[in-house]
Amino acid sequence: MPKLNKPVFIIGTGRCGSTIFHRMMAHHPHLAWLSRYTATAPAKLNRSRRAMMALDSPMPGRLTRKLVYPVEAYSFWERVSPGFSEPCRDLRAADVTPPVRARLQKTLPRLLTRRRQRLLIKITGWPRVGFLKEVFPDAKFIHVYRDGRAVVNSLLAVPWWSGWRGPSNWRWGKLSAGQREKWRRHRRSFVALAAIEWEILMTAHAQAQKAVPAEDYMEIRYEALCAAPQDALRQAADFCELPWTDDFQAATARFSLKNTNYKWQKDLTAAQQQILNDCLADSLHQYEYV
pLDDT tens figures, 22-35 = 999 999 999 999 99
Instruction: State phi, psi for 143 to the nearest 5 degrees.
Output: -95, 115
CATH for 271: 3.40.50.300
Q: How confident is the model at residue 1 (pLDDT cuts 50, 70, 90)?
A: low
| Predicted pLDDT at 16 | 98
| Predicted pLDDT at 12 | 98
Domain contains 83: yes
Assign residue 288 a region: left if phi > 0, alpha if psi is -120 to 50, beta otherwise?
left
Q: Say yes or no to pLDDT of 65 above 90.
A: no
Q: Say yes or no to pLDDT of 248 above 90.
A: yes
Domain contains 1: no
Task: State the average pLDDT for the chain.
Answer: 96
Domain contains 221: yes
The number of distinct structural domains making up the chain is: 1
Give the helix/strand (H/E) hosting 224: helix 222-227
Q: Say yes or no to pLDDT of 58 above 90.
A: no
Domain contains 2: no
Domain contains 3: no
| Predicted pLDDT at 63 | 75
| Predicted pLDDT at 64 | 79
The whole-angstrom distance between residue 194's C-alpha and the CA centroid of its chain comes to 18
| Predicted pLDDT at 182 | 97
Domain contains 129: yes
Q: Say yes or no to pLDDT of 61 above 80.
A: no
| Predicted pLDDT at 23 | 97
User: In which domain, by residue range, is 85 found?
Assistant: 8-286
